[in-house]
Amino acid sequence: MCEVRLNSFNLFRCSSAQTGEQDPTILFHPQLASRKKPMNYRHAYHAGNHADVLKHVVLARAIGHLARKDKPFRVIDAHAGIGLYSLESEQAGKTLEWRDGLGRLYDEAGGRLVLDDEAAETLLSPWRDMVEAVNSRGQGLAWYPGSPELSVLLTRPDDRLVFNELHPEDFETLAGLYEREKRVRVTQTEATIAVKANLPPPERRGIVLIDPPFEKRDDDTRALAMLEQGYKRFATGCFMLWYPVTGDGLSRRLVEAARQSGLKRMLQVELMVRPATMHGGLAGSGLIIVNPPWPLAEELPGLMPALSERLRQGEASWTVDWLAGE
């Protein structure tokens, strides 16, 4: 059962039962207080788009597979955002990107998120159920759970979560959203520092989500370095590195660099909603997953055809392929 409440930031959320531990520790990096140059990327403009759908459907499946074992685990989100997004916000209204992602799966007549394949819908259900949990049935789509909210809703009382967000305003919103969630620790520092500081986790089981904005020219190099360094500290962990596909060749460089990195058990999952062109914007996205929990790699080919059919904006394609084996 979910508890619905408004927190101090007036954000609706549906959380699992509270545990009896100490309040979450909220860390503030002292150098950020005097940061003068504003950061440009705000995920609120993009929440619920086709890239979010792919990333979060796969994340929900991965968390579910880890939860099959009784032993607790930890979710570490290096680029957490604000956790829960209003689809009626000014930012969402400016881009309306969610309509070509989440919106393409929504059946207004039935008031549900659907795919045109029963087996694929079963694979979709962990993510779909959480999206529906934060929205009032029969009232349409008003909220979208980002990776932190999905992780909170899908994990158990003994599991732990660390959410890191560098943007000052988004950090404050994120911290406020989870100020009463005993299992969550919210931090504000560079993603590289956050990953290093939290690995290996005490549970020795977990998922590390690396989801950079890819605003800077060297973000692909930095992201892959974060993945490699994290793996050295936590070789049994599941790492998920998200990447965008545009016409600039970044995704090809990143995937090839990952292939040559020497990392083992590395899976590529990619969804193209249309062909990529130089000035055509976000045409697709993908995930590089190290140590995907069984049977994620085996089940995704049963999901991707139906998902790509719903999300396509032109000629669509998908990939589920091993970049490296054992």
Our answer to whether residue 211 is catalytic in this structure is: yes
Q: Do residues 84 and 160 make contact, with C-beta atoms less than 8 angstroms apart?
A: no
Q: Cα separation of 287 and 322, whole Å?
A: 12
Q: Cα separation of 169 and 62, whole Å?
A: 29
Report the Cα–Cα distance between both ends of the chain, in Å, rounded: 40
Q: Which residues contact 234 (CB under 8 A, 6 or more apart)?
A: 199, 200, 201, 206, 208
Q: What's CA 279's distance to the chain center, in Å?
A: 25
Q: Do residues 21 and 160 make contact, with C-beta atoms less than 8 angstroms apart?
A: no
- Candidate list 211, 218, 248, 321, residue with the active-site label: 211
Q: Which of 83, 81, 85, 119 is nearest to 102 (CA)?
A: 85
Q: Cα separation of 170 and 81, whole Å?
A: 6
Q: Which residues are catalytic?
A: 211
